[in-house]
Amino acid sequence: MFAKNQTAIMCPSQRETQRRTTSAKLSQASARQPVKRRENMAESSIIHSHPENACCVNAGKQEHAARQQSVWKDLMFLLVKLASIGLALLLAVTFLFGVVRYEEPSMAPAIKDGDLIIFYRYSSAGYLPQDVIVLVYEGQRQARRVVAAAGDTVDITEGGLTVNGALQQEPEIYQKTERYQDGVSFPLTVPEGCVFVLGDSRIGAADSRIYGCVNTEDTLGKVITVIRRRSI
């Protein structure tokens, strides 16, 4: 009761002192606000006072996002293109072409032991003399040269290889063509759908002199190129 009466009867100078004290406390409390909050308030004040700054910020963010999206699209397009090329090559090698590592000397010097042979699978219907084809004999793939086609008469005489009575001139063959004692009988006529083949290295080569004419449906394809193995 006494305190309330004392406040009520406070003189004007005391009231002024109390007001100043309260104002100072409020100022100190305001000064202790977090720095980040004041910065946010300042930034907000700048944006509100300058609306064009906010537009620039938003435009920059949109441009950056669009650039990132464009880079990802280009990358995905490149990956799809590479995958398509790889798939096309795989299908071509699997269904159109074949690769064989040659492992015998019977086609030297045209094809040597260790060379890679690339052949085309779908050419069996059109084999011509001098074509080199890939076939399988006793479980092993071999390359042989066609010397006679269907309807031709082949003979091996003292003079060498004859086809339809004509002695064959073979400048790339360096060995004489001779019969095998336990081989097929000559002369012979090549049946329809077959070819007669020989190895370029005529001595000791397993070819049509042993197993006779070859059915074209049993061949793997026509050799189109040879990748030569180079010794160090």
Residue 107, classed as helix, strand or coil, is coil
Mean confidence (pLDDT) of the chain: 80
Residue 188 bridge partners (DSSP): 154
56 has pLDDT over 90: no
Q: For residue range 178-193, what is the model confidence (pLDDT) as tens digits? A: 999 999 999 999 999 9
HSE (side-chain half, CA atoms, 13 Å) at 216: 21
Task: Count other C-beta atoms under 10 Å from residue 147's C-beta.
Answer: 23
- Whether this model's pTM surpasses 0.85: no
Residues 98-125 have a mean pLDDT of 88
Q: For residue range 131-176, what is the model confidence (pLDDT) as tens digits? A: 999 999 988 899 999 999 999 999 999 999 999 999 999 988 999 9
| Alpha carbons 150 and 138: distance in angstroms, whole number | 24
pLDDT band at 195 (very low <50, low <70, confident <90, very high): very high
Residues 213-230 have a mean pLDDT of 90
Nearest to 199 by CA among 138, 135, 118, 127: 135
> 60-69, 104-113, 161-170, 202-211: lowest mean pLDDT where?
60-69
> Hey, what domains does the chain have and what are their CATH numbers?
102-227 (2.10.109.10)
pLDDT band at 62 (very low <50, low <70, confident <90, very high): confident
Q: What is residue 41's predicted lDDT score, i.e. its pLDDT?
A: 55
Between 144 and 19, name the one with better pLDDT.
144
| Alpha carbons 207 and 214: distance in angstroms, whole number | 9
What sign for the dihedral angle of Cα 178, 183, 188, 193? negative
12 has pLDDT over 50: yes
Task: Count other C-beta atoms under 10 Å from residue 99's C-beta.
Answer: 10
Nearest to 95 by CA among 193, 217, 221, 219: 221
106 has pLDDT over 90: yes
80 has pLDDT over 50: yes
Q: What is residue 177's predicted lDDT score, i.e. its pLDDT?
A: 94
| Alpha carbons 72 and 63: distance in angstroms, whole number | 14
Supply the DSSP string of 133-170, one letter for each residue.
Answer: EEEEETTEEEEEEEEE-TT-EEEEETTEEEETTEEP--
Between 98 and 209, name the one with better pLDDT.
209
pLDDT band at 2 (very low <50, low <70, confident <90, very high): very low
Q: What is residue 53's predicted lDDT score, i.e. its pLDDT?
A: 55
Crossing angle (nearest 10°) for helices 51-91 and 35-49: 90
Q: For residue range 31-44, what is the model confidence (pLDDT) as tens digits? A: 555 544 555 555 55
